[in-house]
Chain A
Amino acid sequence: MSRMPTTSEGSATFRAEPLSEAAPLHPPRAGRRLDPLGLVLPGVVLIAWWVAVHFGLATNVLLPSLSAVGWTLLDWVFNVSGGRYFFSGTWWRDLLGSLMRVMVGFTVGSALAIVIGVLVGWYRVFERIADPTIQILRPIPKTAFLPFAILLFGLGNPPALFLTIYGVFLTVYIQVVVGVKLVSRDLKRAALMLGARDRDVLFRVVLPAALPNILVGMRVGAAYAWLILILAEMLAVQEGFGYVLWHAYEFLRMDVVVAGMLCIGLFGYLTDRLVVIVMRRKLDWAQAVAETQF
């Protein structure tokens, strides 16, 4: 099967219309390399930071210097102080712990949200059974479940994972239900008149058509996973970026706090990129229809 037409015309009996609509209006955005414009704001922030520290515009406690944060990062990762502080050399442990919890929370929470969200969006009876309860739970801040999670599971991974899974689930769930419900009626009718049974309509039409919304939900869910996990680590776990950040605050080591924020930001960004890569690959058709790129 050739993917490209051998001629620009259809068969002889039928003159194909010019393919003007087929040609993209804009050439694909030149690569996805670093855009210098994107560096302007971080540059401004760094300069403002340096100026504020240099001219003593903020107290040392509130605003650590760039170099202090740099040394702290070095110590955190490589233990250059020889184990002087509680965080010296613990970076890899913190990173792997946080990363593991985020990934498990995100994967399990999203999977549950997709399964339950599709059932609720597609089958009226599941909607009647599950949706009212979920809607009652939604306005309760997910973090408000932390005390119960700690009492129930004790300290450590279980309460943090529970909270992350729960938070991701609720965030993604809404988007899955909406995605399934917003699939065009005519697309479903087209499948039915072609002989599709209910199950085929769901798996071959509704799921692919709902995928853009589902993946957007997962992208929001990934960010949410970090947010809620950091909070859970502050209170319920003895390791991880959230733990280090909060513990440092208790010692008023704002240089460590900033170092922690930078790490969370960096890895939050990386998990987001991961979802975006999946979106780009799975939604090439939707991007092409809209002539856009994520």
Chain B
Amino acid sequence: MTIEIREVLKVFLDPAKGSDTVALQEVSLSIGQNEFVVLLGPSGCGKTTLLNLVAGFDFPTAGSVLVGGRAVNGPGPERGVVFQSPNLFPWLSAYDNVLFGPRVRGQDLAGGARRATALLSLVGLAGFEGHRPHELSGGMQQRVAIARVLMNDPDILLADEPFASLDEHTRRAMQEEFLRIWEQTRTTVVFVTHNIEEAIYLADRIVVMSRRPGRVKAILPVDIPRPRDRTSAGFVELTRKALELIQPEVTV
């Protein structure tokens, strides 16, 4: 499914302070079917805000967000979201977390049960079905969150810095895993990160955002064939380019 973001403006009003925050300004972006797009930008530049507009958690102040040609008017199961923190339901086991989607959608649970088990092993959690979130490490919880979303067969996967809180080795392993899953499912992906290496490793296209108010500063196509070698000349060259674009946007 395609995503069209047209001339989006997003202003947050704070009636208490009487001050407005312009989080996004004149953001336009087209994302094609099955494309893997990474939003890259410094902290506070509006990445989460933009993702929330596509997810339907929030609405633009001006401009429009179209998914599959229709204006987004709320969240829906065809747009799965993986949040920065796993956000699992803590009273449900990993298995029941994964089955949450089919349950609320009133779907056939007999097939769902088999599929949930299969998805949990797809994300490397075979044998952990009965574990509750607090019995799993952060990385394992995030994998349950991914399986929970995949269970709905979404057309679009929205991921907001899903691996940011993981250690470097786990993060790289998760990136590989995420790509493997994407190659199997071929959903459209919008993946937010502030990590340049992660962006280049994953993306078909990197959308570099400016500091607040967030705009699209540049678009970097990544033409390196997968699996990508993080130490190859092409990778390093692109890292340098991205750094040059990002550095002036970082304010301390």
Contacts and interface: CB of A to CB of B under 8 A. Distances in A.
Interface of A: 1-7, 10-11, 13-22, 184, 186-187, 189-197, 200, 204-205, 208-209, 285-286, 288-289
A14 B120 CA distance: 12
A209 B92 CA distance: 11
Given A10-B124, A10-B127, A22-B136, A194 B100 contact: yes
B12 interface: no
B170 interface: yes
Given A14-B143, A289-B133, 20 more contacts: A5-B127, A5-B128, A5-B131, A11-B125, A11-B126, A13-B180, A14-B123, A21-B138, A186-B87, A189-B81, A190-B81, A190-B88, A191-B104, A192-B74, A192-B75, A195-B104, A205-B89, A285-B91, A285-B132, A288-B134
**Interface footprint category on B:** 35 or more
B134 A1 contact: no
B221 interface: no
B173 to A, nearest CB: 7
A189 B75 contact: yes
A177 B170 CA distance: 40
B47 interface: no
A195 B152 contact: yes
B17 interface: no
A20 B56 CA distance: 37
The 9 closest A-B pairs by CB, nearest first: A14-B124, A195-B77, A3-B130, A10-B124, A5-B127, A192-B75, A194-B101, A196-B104, A285-B91
A7 B126 CA distance: 9
A209 B139 CA distance: 23
B226 interface: no
A194 B124 contact: no
Nearest to A199: B104
B139 A7 contact: no
A195 B129 contact: no
A9 to B, nearest CB: 8
Contacts of A10: 124-128, 140
A194 B130 contact: no
A22 B137 contact: yes
A233 B83 CA distance: 55
Given A17-B137, A190-B87, A195 B128 contact: no
A16 to B, nearest CB: 6
B134 A193 contact: no
Contacts of B139: 17
Contacts of B85: 186
B129 A1 contact: yes
B130 A2 contact: yes
Nearest to A208: B91
Interface string B72-111: 0011110111010101111100010000110111000000
B90 A286 contact: yes
A1 B93 CA distance: 11
A1 B170 contact: no
Contacts of B126: 10-11
A14 B101 contact: no
A280 to B, nearest CB: 14
12 contacts: A3-B130, A4-B130, A19-B135, A187-B87, A190-B89, A194-B77, A194-B80, A194-B152, A195-B101, A196-B100, A285-B134, A288-B135
A1 B137 contact: no
B177 interface: yes
Contact of A194 (B57, B95, B148, B177): B148
Contact of B173 (A6, A15, A186, A189): A15
Interface string B135-178: 11111100100001100100000000000000000100100010
B83 A190 contact: yes
Given A11-B121, A189-B75, A289-B90, A22 B100 contact: no
B55 interface: yes
Nearest to A290: B134
A21 B88 CA distance: 16
Contacts of A193: 55-57, 75-77, 79-81, 149
A195 B137 contact: no
B76 A195 contact: yes
A64 to B, nearest CB: 50
B77 A288 contact: no
Contacts of A16: 124-125, 128, 140
A289 to B, nearest CB: 5
B178 to A, nearest CB: 11
B161 to A, nearest CB: 13
A10 B56 CA distance: 34
A192 B87 CA distance: 12
A247 B177 CA distance: 76
Contacts of B170: 17
| A1, A19, A189, A190 — most chain B CB neighbours (10 Å) | A190
Contacts of B129: 1-3
Contacts of B152: 194-195
